[in-house]
Amino acid sequence: MCELRECVLQIPESVRQDVTAFRETVARYLAGELDETRFKAKRVPMGIYQQRTGAYMVRVRIGAGLALPAQIRAIAAVSRRFGSAHITTRQDIQIHDVPIEATPDIFDELLAANLTSRGGGGNTVRNISASPRAGVDPEQVFDVRPYAIAATEYLLDFPTAYNLPRKFKLAFADKAADDAFASVADIGFFAHIRESRKGFSVYAGGGLGGSPRTGVLIEEWVPVESVPLVAEAVRRVFDKHGDRGNKHAARLRFVLDRFGEERFREEYRNEKESLTREGVPGTPPVPRMFPSSWQDGLSEQAETLPPDALSPFIVPEAMNGFYSIRVNPRHGLVTSDALETIARLAEENGEGVVRTTQQQEVLLCGVPGGLVAETLGALCGLGKEIFDEARPSVVACAGAATCKLGLCLSRGLAEAIQDCLAGDAASAPPPIRISGCPNSCGNHQIATLGFAGKARRVEERLMPFYDVMVEGLVAEGKARLAQRIASIPARVVPDFLADAKRTGKYSKESLQTLATRYETLPDPIPEDYFRDWGSDEPFSLAGRGPGECGAGTLDIIRVDLETAKGHLATARNATPDRERDEALHGAVFSVARALLPVFGLEPKTHRETFRDFSERLIKPGWVDPAAQALIDAAQDWKVGDRETLADAEADLSALIERVEALFVSLDGHLQFRLAPVSESDPTSDAAKSPQDAEKDLRGVACPLNFVKAKVALENVPVGGTLNFLLDHGDPANNVPASFREQGQEVVAVESEANHVRVRVRRSK
């Protein structure tokens, strides 16, 4: 057992350094040195999203949904100054309405409380979720919290975790009844005990949103010690085969769809066997068991409550006389005062941990029966917006109120439903899940009863509608996606549910029959049909724009490539000649700039861009040497030494095609999988790699030493070697391990008096 504060998610040092470095990124953006696209690529992986209002949201990771009271108070302090706190369906806590210039200070405050938003967005390992009552649930197989926390710490510490084809989600369920949604995760772990040993069955390739699917079984049982091996093997399948060229088909489930189940399992087994031979990279953290000492201090108040004192909000735990209490803030929105009260109650009346859930709720666990009434009294004092046992269970995403992808005001509909259905819990519908668009942030695709927002044009005007979804299920080996049975106007959804409540029938057949009546629009159509819930204005899609979830280095490259293609298309149709040449020059500049972020370069001028492209891509042979003539022509035209670029069109088209092929071939290390098209120029600095060449990195701390080492090795042709001088301790241990994890060959590690010499051969 460890101390409670040591059991929750610990922030890896590499993440701490990334957070600290973000202050300079914000300063550069505010000074105008970073454009919007490049800044978005840096802020989204840090968990910062822009809202429709222009302000920002910071998504704080709550590993396995577990936070200490001091951490909750830190979040309360930040949200008090800026905006509301919001509990998500993946157990994170989001802070809304934050000005971008405040984010570095917020990061420092969160880091001081051992919290971070790093990896809250972007193409990375997202928050790893777990069964919300793990450790106290009488139905659990065993406590999965330590394994979810250890997996998070392990995967977040690798640079490859932040350059995946798309986001990557893991979940740990403590029983077959899947309250962690492991059935629809990229990797889902289900707890099992075999011959007195703890282990997991493993499902992979699940996911919601576009082209949703349930995961497929890839392991019937593995011991708990194999979690890092399994997670890394699946991550490598994703890294190698995910479609980086098309972010709309980049999730792991699309790899499963392309390969089919058998080949997908075979690719996984191959990666697992390779890792078994070589050993998993790095040092997986040892899972830390949560202490039970909190029970001792509350044992005198432990007492069994009579059945009539229980409710869906007061649930017995495995330890007799202790209870879990559900706190259900409306829409998952919780005030700073409420957070502080909840933190105090967890500290004084419970296990000392605040838990967030997939229902956008808070759990107070380990409350002895003798303190339940006192705890309920304190919660009721927070008001019905925070705790209301009469409010129907409705989960809703943020919707069009803040999300750029949102179509409908899902929270407005949720309020209308809750107001309409309040009271008489006996005939209430099953928990309802609402998403303001098809992307399923409200998890409508696995709902027993769900709604997905959409827009339709009726009488030449836009009208908000919702698809009605039924019979979704998450359970080990039995998961199924919800089925669409109807599409009805947003305005009639509460009436539809009120009618269903009157009948008390919620089967697919009953709901489908009822919904059919609501699909027919009245004649004439009332004006309020053209207004969404929570708005007095006519329904529109104003403010909707591209989502930011996958923003990162790949998005910068993609933007430049699309810009280059657009300029080339303009040039082919442009008149007069000057407009054509301007477009061709723009295309050359955009394609030359596209891949430079892979090398950590952000040139500020055209001249620097063309120079870096020549050094990094032409001379090492990644693109055809003939591209140099195209670069020279573009520069000559710009300064007036060349009359036209008309003869460059064919070469430019070929260059764009090659750069795009290199882009699609990138792996998680941002290394090209394609071979160079020509031998490296032996006279270039990038090609020189004498055996005795050295890079002195003494005095450079982790992980910056590896970043510098990686960039230095990239200047060496494949097959060449480079020596690195490193300090003893972590640098000498971590840099070689990182190179091995990247697939490079560590030839020798030689310890000397005041440093360690590491020789690395570039293998790819």
Candidate ranges 646-655, 684-693, 701-710, 712-721; pick with highest mean pLDDT: 646-655
Confidence (pTM): 0.81
User: Which ranges in 449-599 belong to alpha helices (H)?
Assistant: 493-503, 508-519, 553-573, 577-594
Closest CA to 598 of 549, 663, 654, 652: 663
Q: Which two tokens stand for residue 48?
A: 């910062």
pLDDT at 670: 74
d(CA 331, CA 394): 8
In this prediction, what percent of the chain has a pLDDT beyond 90?
Answer: 67
d(CA 187, CA 486): 31
Q: Are 453 and 407 in contact (CB under 8 A)?
A: yes
Confidence of residue 691 (pLDDT cuts 50, 70, 90): very low
d(CA 692, CA 673): 27
Closest CA to 317 of 293, 344, 295: 295
Bridge pairing between strands 322-327 and 197-204: unpaired
Q: How many CB atoms lie within 10 A of CB 501?
A: 17
Task: Taking residues 479-491, report their average pLDDT.
Answer: 97
SS3 state at 694 = strand
Confidence of residue 690 (pLDDT cuts 50, 70, 90): very low
Give per-residue pLDDT as tens, 188-226: 999 999 999 999 999 999 999 989 999 999 999 999 999
pLDDT at 542: 72
pLDDT at 67: 98
118-122, 344-348, 462-466, 601-605, range with the lowest pLDDT: 601-605
Task: Taking residues 459-485, report their average pLDDT.
Answer: 95
Q: What are phi and psi of 97, to 5 degrees?
A: 65, 40
In this prediction, what percent of the chain has a pLDDT beyond 70?
Answer: 95
Q: Are 358 and 90 in contact (CB under 8 A)?
A: yes
d(CA 646, CA 660): 22
Which residues lie below 8 Å from residue 121, measured CB to CB, with a gap of 6+?
44, 45, 46, 47, 48, 49, 59, 548, 549, 551
CA angle 76, 82, 84 (to 5 degrees): 60
User: Which ranges in 308-430 belong to alpha helices (H)?
Assistant: 336-349, 369-380, 410-421
Task: Taking residues 316-335, report their average pLDDT.
Answer: 96
Give per-residue pLDDT as tens, 385-435: 999 998 999 999 989 888 878 889 999 999 999 999 987 666 678 899 999
Q: Are 357 and 91 in contact (CB under 8 A)?
A: yes
Bridge pairing between strands 756-761 and 721-726: antiparallel
Task: Taking residues 638-648, report their average pLDDT.
Answer: 87
pLDDT at 692: 42
112-121, 416-425, 530-539, range with the lowest pLDDT: 416-425
Asked, as a colleague might, if the bond just before 576 is cis with ω within 30 of 0, I would say yes
Is the predicted pLDDT of residue 264 greater than 70, yes or no?
A: yes
Task: Taking residues 151-172, report their average pLDDT.
Answer: 90
Is the predicted pLDDT of residue 554 greater than 50, yes or no?
A: yes
Residue 250 carries which side chain, given as an amino acid letter? A
Is the predicted pLDDT of residue 684 greater than 60, yes or no?
A: no
Would the CA dihedral through 510, 511, 514, 516 be positive or negative? negative
Report the chain's mean pLDDT, rounded to a whole number: 91
Confidence of residue 680 (pLDDT cuts 50, 70, 90): low
d(CA 345, CA 386): 14
Task: Taking residues 540-560, report their average pLDDT.
Answer: 71
d(CA 639, CA 633): 10
Comparing 747 with 341, the larger pLDDT belongs to: 341
73-77, 133-137, 582-586, 735-739, range with the lowest pLDDT: 735-739
Q: How many CB atoms lie within 10 A of CB 325?
A: 23
Is the predicted pLDDT of residue 685 greater than 60, yes or no?
A: no
DSSP 128: P
d(CA 202, CA 182): 9
Dihedral through CA 633, CA 635, CA 637, CA 642, nearest 10? -50
Give per-residue pLDDT as tens, 40-66: 989 999 999 999 888 999 999 999 999
d(CA 59, CA 85): 10
DSSP 717: P
Is the predicted pLDDT of residue 752 greater than 60, yes or no?
A: yes
Is the predicted pLDDT of residue 599 greater than 50, yes or no?
A: yes
Candidate ranges 104-118, 281-295, 748-762; pick with highest mean pLDDT: 104-118
pLDDT at 698: 87
Residue 90 carries which side chain, given as an amino acid letter? R
Task: Taking residues 252-265, report their average pLDDT.
Answer: 97
d(CA 650, CA 655): 9
235-249, 347-361, 471-485, 696-710, range with the lowest pLDDT: 696-710
